Amino acid sequence: MTELHRTDTNHVPTTATRPWRLGRRTRKAVLVTHIVSVGAWIGMDVVLAILVFTAMFTSDPHTLGVSYQALSLFAVWPLFIAGFICLLSGVALGLGTKYGLIRYWWVAVKLVLNLLLTGLVLIALRPTVIQANEQGAELINGTRTTAPVTDLIYPPIVSPLALLFAVIIAVYKPWGRTRKNKTDTRRATSSPTES
Binding site for ligand HEM (CB under 6 A): 27, 31, 34-35, 38, 86-87, 90-91, 93-94, 97, 99, 101, 107, 110-111, 113-114, 163, 166-167, 170-171, 192
Question: Which one, 107 or 152, has the nearer CB to ligand HEM?
Answer: 107
Q: Which residues touch 92 (CB under 8 Å, ≥6 apart)?
A: 22, 30
Side-chain half-sphere of 21: how many Cα atoms within 13 Å? 17
| Least distance to ligand HEM, CB of residue 82, Å | 10
DSSP at 177: B
| Residue 75 Cα distances to 58, 66, 68, 177, 186, angstroms | 20, 14, 10, 35, 44
Q: Which residues touch 157 (CB under 8 Å, ≥6 apart)?
A: 49
Question: Which one, 49 or 130, has the nearer CB to ligand HEM?
Answer: 49
Question: Which one, 101 or 140, has the nearer CB to ligand HEM?
Answer: 101
Q: How far apart are CA 115 and CA 113, in angstroms?
A: 6
| Least distance to ligand HEM, CB of residue 36, Å | 10
Q: How many CB atoms lie within 10 A of CB 129?
A: 24
Q: Nearest to ligand HEM by Cβ — which residue?
A: 90
Question: Which one, 107 or 132, has the nearer CB to ligand HEM?
Answer: 107
| Least distance to ligand HEM, CB of residue 186, Å | 18
| Least distance to ligand HEM, CB of residue 164, Å | 8
